[in-house]
Amino acid sequence: AAGVIQSPRHLIKEKRETATLKCYPIPRHDTVYWYQQGPGQDPQFLISFYEKMQSDKGSIPDRFSAQQFSDYHSELNMSSLELGDSALYFCASAQGLRGSPLHFGNGTRLTVT
């Protein structure tokens, strides 16, 4: 079965640079979520989209922005990168609401040097 695809798998950036992470949801899934997981920490919710509109916002820094496109893929844009942004970034997709489970990708590991 098709899964959530994230690219790139690994990304190395320097401080103050920008990064763009991409997420391709499971076909027919209309909801996308972004999570950040630092070393030894639990996943932290950043932002979500439903039908290309932002649906909820968590602890996403102002330096980050995201959007969901017409084909339902999503991109997380990160600017003025800091060392503390080094983490695993997960995207998850789901079909609509009504408590449908989230399906996660295997993440993008961002390292900021």
Partner 1 sequence: LAKTTQPISMDSYEGQEVNITCSHNNIATNDYITWYQQFPSQGPRFIIQGYKTKVTNEVASLFIPADRKSSTLSLPRVSLSDTAVYYCLVRGAGSYQLTFGKGTKLSVIP
The site for partner 1 (CB under 8 A) is made up of 4, 31, 33, 35, 42-45, 48, 50, 55-56, 58, 88, 90, 92, 97-99, 101-107, 109
**In the complex with partner 1, which residue's Cβ is closer, 52 or 109?**
109
Residue among 107, 94, 104, 113 nearest 38 (CA): 107
- For residue 16, the minimal CB distance to partner 1 (Å) is 26
* Residue position matching structure tokens 């399906």: 103
Sign of CA dihedral 107, 105, 43, 36: positive
**In the complex with partner 1, which residue's Cβ is closer, 2 or 80?**
2
